[in-house]
Amino acid sequence: MRGNSKIPFIPRPLVTTNQTVIVLSVITSLISGSKWFLLIPLFSGLGGLLFDFNPVMKLASKFLRKKPNEYIPEDKNQQKFNQTIAVVCLAIAFISALIGLNILFYIFTIIVGLAATIALCGFCIGCFIHYQWHQYKYRRTKV
């Protein structure tokens, strides 16, 4: 049993699926030039943050072969922090495209795509930022 039932967690395959959908949506959006593909991860992420219901993860959970607690757990609070960053960047990208600020559209779309790709490779930029933020807050209390 890997997941501790007292600490909220998300099974790693669901997190990986969510990251993959982000990468595929970003690539499709950039190749096609259509901002509308960004709505898939944007609305899924918003659903997860606001209603604790991410449709991408919900659909992916139907394909889990083991019980959720038998997978490597990902900290739910850390994932919410990461998802917040992704949603903000996706929203900026989408709104920028709507109002014709194409440079911002490309910058923020690429930022999200790179972060999700790097996370799929094993390094979580959002986790690093979260850790550094907590270290900064801790050091300020010690001064």
Q: Where are the chain's structural domains?
A: 9-142
Helices (H), the chain: 12-32, 39-51, 55-61, 76-98, 102-121, 125-142
pLDDT tens for residues 9-39? 999 999 999 999 999 999 999 999 999 999 9
* For residue 3, pLDDT beyond 80: no
pLDDT cut 90: percent of the chain above it: 93
Beta bridge partners of 14: none
* For residue 86, pLDDT beyond 70: yes
pTM of the predicted protein model: 0.91
Q: Which residues contact 78 (CB under 8 A, 6 or more apart)?
A: 126, 127, 130
| Banded pLDDT at 99 (limits 50, 70, 90) | very high
Instruction: Check: CB of residue 64 under 8 Å from CB of residue 11.
Output: yes
* For residue 89, pLDDT beyond 80: yes
Instruction: Check: CB of residue 97 under 8 Å from CB of residue 26.
Output: no
